[in-house]
Amino acid sequence: MPGLFYVNAAATSLSMSLTFTTYDGDIVLRAGPEPDSKHYFRVHKLVLSLASPVFNDMFTFPQPLNQTSNGQQLPIVDLLDPPEVIDAILRHIYPGVEPPKIADIPTLTALLSAADKYNITSVYPVLKDALKTFLRHDSCFRAYIVACRFGFSEEAKEAARVGNTQSIMDQSIAEEVQHISSTDLLRWVKFVQERERAGRDLIGELLDWRHLDEGADCDHGEVGKDFYFRLEKAVENAFVENPFVDSKDLWAVLDKIPDPPLGCGPSPHFESGEYYFCRAVEEPFLSCPLRPMSIRSNLVGITGELGVINAMMLDEVFGIS
């Protein structure tokens, strides 16, 4: 437990944090793991006691007999935390001070560790919101580790939802993985692998040319088969890279493969292009699979089914919210 010492306020004012140097502060936090890295924060016992029961307990220790009440001498609490972490925590709990921007996961982890150490639960909602900004494909597994480590079950579930197999292969996270249990690690692996398998199976089924060609009112043979084979592989790759693909993502896939052969033209009995779009969406097996609207409607159907798979498997592996 940090010890309590005393220091003349005037002697330390030059090295105190400009943000937290107040003329009526009644205690000084001296932060830093090394003697030459110490930084002083003149703050108020009341603010820290209300925010942290740990600080409150520190301040109840017996005071040295040479304590004065004239404001010339102040108690000092030594903390081993880096000064920048204490500075950021104070900015979160002090009224009228703007919280700092959290630009990376290591900074967020350090703040959560300090909040956990001093039991400052009031900052958890803000730090949870900051964690959500890292729920991207390039940082989702790191976010998952942080969420599991600090018991944020909903954020862990959301990180897994947008995660993929490649995200766990990053060698730079080897040290971070040590902070979560084997159960949490296996839960992630199980979810992303089983979802990928189910997604590939679904894509293969919905883009199977035999299935589409047999149900259509036309026949395009090998040319249609070749196009849908290429489309299937391109959609699989897009899904593996981003399991939460939407229709626009898959429509963009069409730019990466050769254009489809010319499909059947509109029926002479109908002139409305909107009719053909609606027919492709509502009755895909009665329209030519090579019409642009039919291809897009098939991709729309895939994104919807993938969303259902994602939600069902999340609930199965991580529990229903």
pLDDT tens for 294-313 read: 888 888 889 989 989 888 88
34 contact partners, CB below 8 Å, separation of at least 6: none
Q: What separation in angstroms does the CA of 76 have from each of 10, 17, 139? A: 13, 14, 39
Q: Report the pLDDT value the prediction gives residue 17, as an integer from 0 to 100.
A: 58
pTM for the model: 0.76
Tokens found for residue 252: 């963009």
Q: Report the pLDDT value the prediction gives residue 7, as an integer from 0 to 100.
A: 45
Question: Could you tell me which residue, 120 or 8, shows the higher pLDDT?
Answer: 120
Q: Where are the alpha helices (DSSP H) in the chain?
A: 9-12, 45-51, 53-58, 83-93, 105-117, 124-132, 140-149, 153-161, 174-177, 182-206, 209-215, 221-241, 247-253, 273-282, 292-318
Question: Could you tell me which residue, 293 or 9, shows the higher pLDDT?
Answer: 293
CA within 13 Å, CB half, 200: 10
Q: Report the pLDDT value the prediction gives residue 40, as an integer from 0 to 100.
A: 84
Average pLDDT of span 76-104: 88
